[in-house]
Amino acid sequence: MQLKYHMLDYIYESGTALEKTFHKNEDQLFQTARLMSDKGIEKLILTGLGSSYTAALMAHPLIQSHSPIPSLVVPSTDLDFYLENFIGANTAVITISRSGERGWAVDGSKKCKDKGAMTIAVTGVENSLLAKNASIQWITQEGPEASFPKTKSVIACSGLMMLLGLALSEENDELVQEKIKNLHKMPQMINNTIKELDSQVREEIELINSHSVLVICGTGPNYGTALEGAIKLQETTGKITIGDNTGNFFHGPLTPLDSNWLIITLVHPGNIELNKQFIDLTEEMGAHTLCIADGQSARELSVANSLEFQSSIGEDMSPLIYLPGVQLINYHLAIEMGMNPDKPAVSKAILNAILPPGRSEPDF
């Protein structure tokens, strides 16, 4: 009998987590956006580690499209490179950490605050070190997440950062208002997509597991989705997985491809032509492909293997729809390989390395 672990429940709770996170933080988020304008903030840094870093990457294209404030996404371990000449009183630094306890993230936020920056904590734990030391706190509402690979909290954080991008927009026009409405529709769309994809992933999981190397590729905001999927698949299953930008993979990484490689490509209506060329080339070199796409895009590609959903959304919000598909692959692949997806073998060693002395992961 197949056991169901926490991780699958958490994937299914992603839409609700995002909806509750919006409800809890939206007013304060818009107030903070106005405060940034009043304080003359000229630079915005989003920072985090692991899934928190990729959550920022997924939201960053939307932020860049709508915010007048130039922005960077920086791993927390790299903040020191920016402290001396880049970070100051005209900088806002948003640190994302589900637990709020990761040493590098907490220390980086403190250093930025000492330089006079406006520091904002995005965390699921109100009494965490990160929340206590930041100037402003946005507390995500995903609830317990006692699996090492994070799922619903990644979507909650990324969706909240997308909302920030729209809140920072100086144009209160119909396009921005329509995007805010669409973002509020995402929780139900996420729920529908998870239900559509779960059974399809189960059907493809034997094929996925038959390959020794996996590649996940996406463009724009789904580059972050691809990196997140690769991080978690390796962390959970130990299977070699590469995350990359679809166009970038046309170069050196193609060289070693053969039938042991499976390329999972995240296809949006805006990048169909690129993916047609990409899939043709990878299959010519002997690799197999699996696309995650809306139904119309999948039909246009005419691929043998696909995971299809019916939701339609602009590319800048697409990670909120595509990421659950990758997370379901992660979960079901771990089960197929006889592993516990909640507690990968490496989890204890990683936590010991990244948590400050005397602190623990809240849900564990």
- pLDDT number for residue 304: 82
Q: How many CB atoms lie within 10 A of CB 106?
A: 26
Q: Which of 119-128, 135-144, 171-180 bottoms out in mean pLDDT, i.e. has the lowest?
A: 171-180
- pLDDT number for residue 2: 47
Rounded to whole angstroms, the Cα distance separating 53 from 228 reads 9
Q: Which pLDDT band, with edges at 50, 70 and 90, does 311 fall under? A: confident
- Tokens, residue 36: 């940034």
- pLDDT number for residue 148: 86
Query: Is pLDDT of 352 > 70?
Result: no
Give the residue from 259, 257, 264, 246 showing the smallest Cα distance to 305: 264
Question: Residue 319 carries which DSSP code?
Answer: H
Name residue 46's beta-bridge partners: 73, 94
Q: Which pLDDT band, with edges at 50, 70 and 90, does 32 fall under? A: very high
Q: How many CB atoms lie within 10 A of CB 355?
A: 17
Query: Is pLDDT of 353 > 60?
Result: no
Q: 219-235: per-residue pLDDT in tens?
A: 999 999 999 999 999 98
Average pLDDT, the chain: 92
DSSP 57-95: HHHHHHHHHH-SS-EEEEEGGGTHHHHTTT-STTEEEEE
**Structural domains of the chain in order of their starting residue, each with its CATH number:** 6-185 (3.40.50.10490), 188-344 (3.40.50.10490)
- Tokens, residue 223: 């580059």
Q: 40-99: per-residue pLDDT in tens?
A: 999 999 999 999 999 999 999 999 999 999 999 999 999 999 999 999 999 999 999 999
- Tokens, residue 338: 């006889």
The burial of 251, by beta-carbon neighbours within 10 Å (0-12 exposed, 13-18 middle, 19 or more buried), is given as: exposed
Q: Tell me how many degrees the CA angle 201-59-293 measures, rounded to the nearest 5.
A: 30
- pLDDT number for residue 171: 74
What value does the mean pLDDT take over residues 165-187?
91
- pLDDT number for residue 36: 96
Q: What is the pTM of this model?
A: 0.93
Q: 100-112: per-residue pLDDT in tens?
A: 988 899 999 999 9
Query: Is pLDDT of 241 > 80?
Result: yes
Rounded to whole angstroms, the Cα distance separating 267 from 289 reads 12
Question: CB within 8 A of 11, min separation 6: which ones?
Answer: 151, 152, 194, 324, 327, 328, 331
101 φ, ψ (degrees, to nearest 5): -120, -5
Q: Please report, rounded to a whole number, the percentage of residues in the chain having pLDDT higher than 90.
A: 80
- pLDDT number for residue 363: 66
Give the residue from 123, 175, 185, 177 showing the smallest Cα distance to 154: 123
Rounded to whole angstroms, the Cα distance separating 164 from 166 reads 5
- pLDDT number for residue 170: 76
What value does the mean pLDDT take over residues 325-346?
90
Q: 178-200: per-residue pLDDT in tens?
A: 999 999 999 999 999 999 999 99
Q: Are 134 and 112 in contact (CB under 8 A)?
A: no
Query: Is pLDDT of 351 > 80?
Result: no
